[in-house]
């Protein structure tokens, strides 16, 4: 068991692009929002069905945390939805006069732009807001202090790139690629093992922090168990970015060695992998696990393939820009994402044929009433 | 009673200079630290004597808030001191094995640089940290959720400049000055009334937030009741800054009208004024009220008057720069503080003769066990 200090150092930061510019996360997170709208109903129902309000009657404060909240606005919509569901539940139970006070904790890495987050907080919010800096792969909150934990499109980020995939002496060295879908089995296994290790830490920390009967709602880009890694839309998308980087290496714009040493700290867990992690942990029951439409469904409203390709490119850039900048330098960004847009447009048919293999999952976990 | 939304809009931000540059608050807050070192013993004793640890045994988390924390490092020292005192108290009572978990809330205005604050958090801290944006003249925390509230050199900042002092049609119009010490009685009264109104809001909010028996430790630049406003060192300091601005107006560098419309939102309460506010509120008892050495005592280690003057000038600049910049523009800053340094040096004897009229107070309040 790692000490608390060691645990704090776990988890590299992968901040979304800050501020509110063209490539900022706040202006390029509307794709996630389409999926979150679909999740809204599931989250509401899960709270109404599973949260035991009477258990909280001795405490007048319900504490909610959004893990990996980034800088908004999606986190504010998610929180609002959760609070409305709790209020609805109170009303359903005839507890109108006992609607609790809410304290909402917005968590992300220390390097997240909390200044922007705080300045965007809804002015007429009905909750006390707090920001909590740190990796959710470590402890962030006091024992048994949270009632609802929410996390949307965050747990697919690993705490780090698996060591083996950037180790030349390893069979899992991922030469010439930045991701695992079309790589050797050893590379996939290294990614999968890192995810299992991270989920063990994540669930262990949350089991300590969530009160008995409390809920955890996890929304994440997943892989249907029967679909091979190489056919998952999100994976194809990220593999294409790797191809663009290799093209730039062939043209001498970046060194091939640098591309070899760069890997994305992302992994798309399957529903089975989540179930296995929850079972190993032992402190949670899975109350619901539902598919959400893929992010690409949000693109249907865009008319041309070019616009769709550009929307994906902006979306990936908002999420990846800081990572790529840190490794390759700022100067390659525009060229890389220009060629990425073009590649996405040229090969857009790949996404359409892979349509059903795209998947987002919404899992609702409940903290068991037991010490573990 | 104002609605929660109205309350949120109360309290202008007066952020300390952010970042870690020459004039930053983080590099110019060592004067306060001298006073805080003196407060350390009082705070420790107050906690050991007054905090009823057994009352908290049903909860395993002790919640501490620092209000007006700025960006560090003073807030981290203050918090560390509080936590050590609680641990000492546990040990004294033979509760070594029951040392609670700590959750520490760092509060300041939304415009405070929380990014810098979070990145400076002590890496080996023994507490769960959270940032809480908002004015402490409104509600910030859930009902009865805090055990210790600390605030150091923050409550002398008013929620706003009293309206009358910038109203040409009022008898309290403060023409040609930026502060009240040498102004007409009406101006002093307007400042004093604003302070009383702010303290009423402050104490009302805290009475709701602090658990029965919880402590509030307030350290602030005060005025001994028997000393006239015009003879208080801090007031002389700020009046001199006003003189420098008027000198610049006479030279045509800034408009006199702009100086007329600029007033500092600061007030140095006397011990009697605090006592009256606490009595009007009714929810707290004053357990201790002790004098701390004036900030100027920290300057004794500096050899020359020039160095002392410059240290004060840097200190005032760190606190006031953003306010002055917002009203007069950035371009006057260097010239203003250069002339301020010189004026402080020329008239340094004023501070030495006024030595004993400088005062900082440390008040320890305890939340009464009653609904009010």
What confidence score (pLDDT) does residue A59 get? 59
Q: Cα-flanking dihedrals φ and ψ of residue A15, to 5°?
A: -65, 145
Would you say residue A274 lies in a domain? yes
Q: What span, in angstroms and rounded, lies between the C-alpha atoms of A222 and A157?
A: 12
The set of residues, in sequence order, having a beta carbon less than 8 Å from that of B106 and lying 6+ positions away, is: B65, B66, B69, B75, B114, B117, B129, B130, B131, B132
DSSP B99-130: PPEEEEEEEE-TTS-HHHHHHTS-TT-SSEEE
Q: Cα-flanking dihedrals φ and ψ of residue B272, to 5°?
A: -65, -40
Quick check: B166 pLDDT over 50? Answer: yes
pTM of the model: 0.90
B322-332: string of b/e by CB count within 10 Å (b at 16+)? bbbeebbeeeb
Q: Out of B61, B118, B140, whose CB is closest to A145? A: B61
- Tell me the pLDDT band of B110, cut-offs 50, 70 and 90: very high
Please report residues of B whose CB lies closer than 8 A to that of A121: 110, 133
Residue with tokens 């420098």: B244
Strands A128-133 and B359-367: unpaired
What confidence score (pLDDT) does residue B184 get? 94
Please count the structural domains in chain B: 1
What confidence score (pLDDT) does residue A93 get? 86
The DSSP code for A262 is: -
A316-330: string of b/e by CB count within 10 Å (b at 16+)? bbbbbbbbbeebbee
CB B198 within 8 A of CB B287: no
Six-digit token string for A328: 């390759």
Q: Indicate yes or no: CB of B118 within 8 angstroms of CB of A105.
A: no
Helix (H) or strand (E) holding A149: strand A146-152
Instruction: Report how many Cβ contacts below 8 Å link chain A to chain B.
Output: 86
What confidence score (pLDDT) does residue B9 get? 44
- Tell me the pLDDT band of B358, cut-offs 50, 70 and 90: low
How many CB atoms within 10 Å of residue A124?
A: 8
Nearest residue on chain A to B124, judged by CA atoms? A5
Q: How far is B61 from chain A (nearest CA, A)?
A: 6
Secondary structure string (H, E, C) spanning B311-352: HHHHHHHHHHHHHHHHHHCHHHHHHHHHHHHHHHHHCHHHHH
Q: Cα–chain-centroid distance for residue A278?
A: 17
Six-digit token string for A143: 């024992």
Q: What span, in angstroms and rounded, lies between the C-alpha atoms of B217 and B288?
A: 9
Q: What ipTM score was computed for the predicted complex, to two decimals?
A: 0.89
What confidence score (pLDDT) does residue A372 get? 77
Q: Indicate yes or no: CB of A61 within 8 angstroms of CB of B142.
A: yes
Strands A61-67 and A101-108: parallel
Quick check: B13 pLDDT over 70? Answer: no
Helix then strand then coil, in percent of chain B rounded to 5, is 50, 15, 35
How many CB atoms within 10 Å of residue A10?
A: 17
Instruction: Tell me the C-alpha to C-alpha distance, in Å, between residue A223 and each of A47, A279, A283, A291, A296.
Output: 25, 19, 24, 10, 14
Please report residues of A whose CB lies closer than 8 A to that of B101: 142-143
Q: Out of A4, A110, A129, whose CB is closest to B119? A: A110
Find the DSSP H helices in A93-177: 114-119
What confidence score (pLDDT) does residue A27 get? 60
pLDDT per residue, tens digit, chain A (372 aa), is 333 333 344 567 666 666 666 666 566 566 666 777 888 999 999 999 998 876 766 557 999 999 999 998 999 999 999 999 999 998 888 887 778 899 999 999 999 999 999 999 999 999 999 999 999 999 999 999 999 999 999 999 999 999 999 999 999 999 999 999 999 999 999 999 999 999 999 999 999 999 999 999 999 999 998 889 998 888 988 999 999 999 999 999 999 999 999 999 999 999 999 999 999 999 999 999 999 876 666 676 777 888 888 888 988 998 899 999 999 999 999 999 999 999 999 998 887 776 556 688 999 999 999 877
Domain hosting residue A184, numbered range: 4-367
Would you say residue B314 lies in a domain? yes
How many CB atoms within 10 Å of residue A20?
A: 14
What confidence score (pLDDT) does residue B97 get? 77
The DSSP code for B50 is: H
Q: Which of A93, A97, A89, A102 is nearest to A47 (CA)?
A: A89
Count of CA atoms in the C-beta half-sphere (13 A) of A61: 19
Task: Tell whether A114 is within 8 A of chain B (Cβ).
Answer: yes
Instruction: Tell me the C-alpha to C-alpha distance, in Å, between residue B278 and each of B65, B207, B287.
Output: 20, 11, 12
Quick check: B2 pLDDT over 50? Answer: no
DSSP B11-36: S---PPP-SSSTT-TTTS-HHHHHHH
What confidence score (pLDDT) does residue A348 get? 87
Task: Tell whether A129 is within 8 A of chain B (Cβ).
Answer: yes
Q: What span, in angstroms and rounded, lies between the C-alpha atoms of B171 and B165?
A: 8
Task: Tell whether B251 is within 8 A of chain A (Cβ).
Answer: no
DSSP A31-42: HHHHHHHHHHHH
Q: Indicate yes or no: CB of A131 within 8 angstroms of CB of B128.
A: no
Q: How far is B156 from chain A (nearest CA, A)?
A: 24
Nearest residue on chain B to A113, judged by CA atoms? B115
Helix (H) or strand (E) holding A185: helix A185-209
Task: Tell whether B285 is within 8 A of chain A (Cβ).
Answer: no
- Tell me the pLDDT band of B5, cut-offs 50, 70 and 90: very low
Would you say residue B84 lies in a domain? yes
Q: Indicate yes or no: CB of B119 within 8 angstroms of CB of A131.
A: no
Task: Tell whether B103 is within 8 A of chain A (Cβ).
Answer: yes
Q: What span, in angstroms and rounded, lies between the C-alpha atoms of B241 and B247?
A: 10
Tell me which of A142, A205, A208, A209 to substitute to probe the interface with B (most B C-beta atoms closer than 10 Å): A142
Six-digit token string for B161: 């400049």
B271 or B371, which is more confident: B271
Would you say residue B104 lies in a domain? yes
Quick check: B356 pLDDT over 60? Answer: no
Would you say residue A37 lies in a domain? yes
Q: What span, in angstroms and rounded, lies between the C-alpha atoms of B296 and B234?
A: 9
Mean pLDDT score, B34-47: 86
Q: Indicate yes or no: CB of A115 within 8 angstroms of CB of B113.
A: yes
Quick check: B202 pLDDT over 50? Answer: yes
Would you say residue A372 lies in a domain? no
Q: How far is A166 from chain B (nearest CA, A)?
A: 28
B52 or A251, which is more confident: A251
What confidence score (pLDDT) does residue B350 get? 81
Six-digit token string for A274: 């989540």
CB B164 within 8 A of CB B173: yes
β partners of residue B215 = B148, B366
Q: How far is B16 from chain A (nearest CA, A)?
A: 15
Please report residues of A whose CB lies closer than 8 A to that of B5: 123-124
Residue B249 buriedness (CB in 10 A; 0-12 / 13-18 / 19+): middle
CA B218-B197-B324 angle, 5° bins: 75
B159 or B371, which is more confident: B159
Would you say residue B372 lies in a domain? no
* Tens of pLDDT, residues B289-307: 998 876 666 676 777 888 8
Q: Indicate yes or no: CB of B115 within 8 angstroms of CB of A118.
A: no
CATH number at residue A24: 3.40.50.150
Mean pLDDT score, B76-90: 94
């Amino acid at each position: 068991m790692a000490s608390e200090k060691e645990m704090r150092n776990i988890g590299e930061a992968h901040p979304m692009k800050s501020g509110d510019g063209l490539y900022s996360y706040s202006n390029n997170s509307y794709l996630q929002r389409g999926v979150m709208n679909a999740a809204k109903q599931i989250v509401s129902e899960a709270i109404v069905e599973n949260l035991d309000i009477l258990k909280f009657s001795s405490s007048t404060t319900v504490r909610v945390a959004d893990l990996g909240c980034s800088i908004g606005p999606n986190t504010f919509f998610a929180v609002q939805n959760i609070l409305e569901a709790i209020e609805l539940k109170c009303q359903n139970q005839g507890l109108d006069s006992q609607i609790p006070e809410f304290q909402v904790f917005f968590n992300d890495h220390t390097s997240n732009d909390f200044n922007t987050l705080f300045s965007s907080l809804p002015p007429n919010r009905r909750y006390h807001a707090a920001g909590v800096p740190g990796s959710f792969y470590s402890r962030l909150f006091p024992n048994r202090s949270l009632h609802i934990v929410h996390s949307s499109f965050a747990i697919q980020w690993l705490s780090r790139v698996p060591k083996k995939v950037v180790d030349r002496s390893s069979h899992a060295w991922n030469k010439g690629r930045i991701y695992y879908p079309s790589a050797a089995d050893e590379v996939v296994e290294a990614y999968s093992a890192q995810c299992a290790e991270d989920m063990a830490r994540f669930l262990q920390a949350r089991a300590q922090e969530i009160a008995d009967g409390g809920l955890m709602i996890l929304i994440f880009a997943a892989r249907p168990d029967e679909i091979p890694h190489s056919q998952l839309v999100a994976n194809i998308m990220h593999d294409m970015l790797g191809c663009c980087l290799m093209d730039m290496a062939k043209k001498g714009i970046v060194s091939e060695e640098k591309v070899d040493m760069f890997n994305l700290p992302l992994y798309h867990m399957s529903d089975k992998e989540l179930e296995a992690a929850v079972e190993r942990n032992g402190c949670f029951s899975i109350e619901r696990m539902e598919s959400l439409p893929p992010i690409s469904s949000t693109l249907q409203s865009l008319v041309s393939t070019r616009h769709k390709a550009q929307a994906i490119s902006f979306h990936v850039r908002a999420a990846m820009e800081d990572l790529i900048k840190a490794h390759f330098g700022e100067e390659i960004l525009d060229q890389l994402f220009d060629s990425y847009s073009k590649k996405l447009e040229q090969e857009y048919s790949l996404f359409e044929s892979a349509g059903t293999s795209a998947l987002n999952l919404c899992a609702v976990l409940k903290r068991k009433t037991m010490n573990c």
